[in-house]
Amino acid sequence: MTQSPPAPQITPADLRGKRLHFMGIGGSGITSVVQMALLEGAHCTGCEQTLSGATEWIAAKGVPIVEGHSPAHLDDNPDYLIIVPAVMKLDKNNPEVAEARRRGIPVIDWQAVLGAFMAGKFGISVAGVHAKGTVTAMISQILIDAGMDPTCEVGATVPRWQGNVRMGASDYFVNEADEFNLNFLHYHPRLAVITSIEFEHPEFFNNYAELKEGFDRFVAGMDFAGQWDLPPTLVLNWDSPGCHELRERMGDWAGHVVTYALDGPADYMGDDVRLAGETSFHARDAQGHDLGRFTLPLPGRFNVENALGAIAATRELGVDVEVIRATLARYGGVYRRFQVTQAANGVTVIDDYAHHPTAIEVTLGAIRQRFPNRRLIATFQPHMFTRLKTFLEDFSHSFGQADEVVIVDVFPARERDTGLITSHALVAALQRDPAFADQPERVHYGGSLDQTRDLLARLVQPGDVLAMLGSGSVYQISGALLRSPDFAGFDPDTQINH
């Protein structure tokens, strides 16, 4: 089993008045920990390889940030160096980390710090290969609207909070629990939701068996010691085969297991799903009670599934169904999860984080369902060379709903380009796929962000739907297009929710 290095045991009290240096401070998750540390009275500084809107946002909170990584950043001898795991995946001999260790400065993953803030709280963690961010945000907003005043952390910006963290005064603490690097083992929730399990992160897990073992360990580490009214509760998506496998491996688990599903018998069931025009569905709870009809601003059957998971979790927590119904009806989504911009010339731009073949397929399916008679151009930036190579065949069959496909150069993230694979391989594989084999010219190699922007400026026509897919920097292309005077008719200030 792939092992992560053990983290030093710390508590929020250990951080009060201390000097913390955050390495990789622009990451989507670490910024939440910076904000929590500031509230605990810590003195924070940070560095990032490339400054961005995220670093600018954190700097505006009074955190000094410098560009790049260097041992010189430790000259003030901080009490802790807090890093994103990608730092060590990219360079095991990172000189800034090496210098910290030489000086005896503890080096801690930011997830370990988040786990420290959760300790002693009623933890509610959402894990799963897909949809954990959306379900985390849904549960968080339902609990907020129910007056339960939770602290909430999501790995993306939630528009209603204008950020990725929401500080509350109660014992409830909701967070997104990521399986990469076994990060979720830092969290010990009383209630956990698992949205899906299938093979992912081949840059870390050697095989699917290792990933499954990681989920086993996450469940085994749930909170059995806390004195809460609700027993340890695991909420499983019963439409995910991987969740079925997990349940079988758990055997006579001592906690309470709750299931939800659209496609088969489960404790919480959804049916009569309507996706044309509006997204709505009917639901019943674990006692067979009719919960009535729910509507969502978000399109797609997969978002109905996400909402059902949020219903199951919050009903187990005792939230009134009418509060849940009202929250879901106005749920504003999460940044880059089916985020829609309507341009003045009739072009609809949809930014989405989808970077796994399954996510791409369901996202494009939802777009096609929502916009059935419009030309759909899917622009995809593969995220990491290892993922592209491992799932190349699956990726090649995931774009069938698109009329045109544009493939951007690989976003390396925590990897270096060793010549393992390029985006040209995906272009060639897509052109061989039955969906495009008769017209391979419908699949385009985009190249860099700038080159792709120029290609799309020529390719997109009034009335098209442009999907920007990937968890890297692909969203910058649509932003540049919307600001470009050459892309006539776009109004970058016209935003719609869904």
The residue ranges of every structural domain in the chain are: 12-111, 120-329, 339-483
Question: What percent of the chain has a predicted confidence (pLDDT) above 90?
Answer: 46
**What pLDDT does residue 3 have?**
55
Phi, psi for 53 (deg, rounded to 5)? -60, -35
Whether 309 and 270 have beta carbons less than 8 Å apart is answered as no
- The yes-or-no verdict on residue 9 having pLDDT over 80 is no
For domain 120-329, the CATH class is: alpha beta
Q: Which residue has the higher pLDDT, 255 or 472?
A: 255
Whether 340 and 348 have beta carbons less than 8 Å apart is answered as yes
Q: Choose from 177-186, 241-250, 359-368 the range with maximum mean pLDDT.
A: 241-250
- The yes-or-no verdict on residue 10 having pLDDT over 90 is no
Over residues 319-342, the mean pLDDT reads 84
Q: Which residue has the higher pLDDT, 55 or 496?
A: 55
Question: What is the Cα gyration radius of the chain?
Answer: 22
Q: Is 121 left (phi over 0), alpha (psi -120 to 50) or beta?
A: beta
pLDDT per residue as tens digits for the range 18-42 = 999 998 888 778 888 898 899 888 9
d(CA 61, CA 34): 10
Whether 425 and 490 have beta carbons less than 8 Å apart is answered as no
**What pLDDT does residue 217 have?**
95
d(CA 5, CA 208): 21
**Superfamily of the domain at 339-483:** Mur ligase, C-terminal domain (3.90.190.20)
Which of the residue ranges 292-296, 318-322, 475-479 would you say has the lowest mean pLDDT? 475-479
Question: What percent of the chain has a predicted confidence (pLDDT) above 70?
Answer: 94
**What pLDDT does residue 489 have?**
44
- Give the confidence band of 87 by pLDDT, cuts at 50, 70, 90: confident
d(CA 440, CA 471): 26
- The yes-or-no verdict on residue 480 having pLDDT over 60 is yes
pTM of structure: 0.81
- Give the confidence band of 254 by pLDDT, cuts at 50, 70, 90: very high
- Give the confidence band of 222 by pLDDT, cuts at 50, 70, 90: very high
- The yes-or-no verdict on residue 2 having pLDDT over 70 is no
pLDDT per residue as tens digits for the range 262-293 = 977 999 999 999 987 788 999 998 788 899 99
**Superfamily of the domain at 12-111:** NAD(P)-binding Rossmann-like Domain (3.40.50.720)
> Which residue is it, tokens 């400054």?
51
- Give the confidence band of 390 by pLDDT, cuts at 50, 70, 90: confident
**What pLDDT does residue 485 have?**
58
- The yes-or-no verdict on residue 484 having pLDDT over 90 is no
- Give the confidence band of 491 by pLDDT, cuts at 50, 70, 90: very low
Q: Examine domains 12-111 and 339-483 and report if their fold is the same.
A: no
What residue spans of 75-159 are helical by DSSP H? Answer: 86-90, 95-103, 110-118, 132-145
**What pLDDT does residue 496 have?**
31
- The yes-or-no verdict on residue 334 having pLDDT over 80 is no
d(CA 89, CA 69): 15
**What pLDDT does residue 53 have?**
72
Q: What's the mean pLDDT when you consider all of the chain?
A: 87
**What pLDDT does residue 373 have?**
87
- The yes-or-no verdict on residue 223 having pLDDT over 90 is yes
**What pLDDT does residue 249 have?**
95
**What pLDDT does residue 213 have?**
94
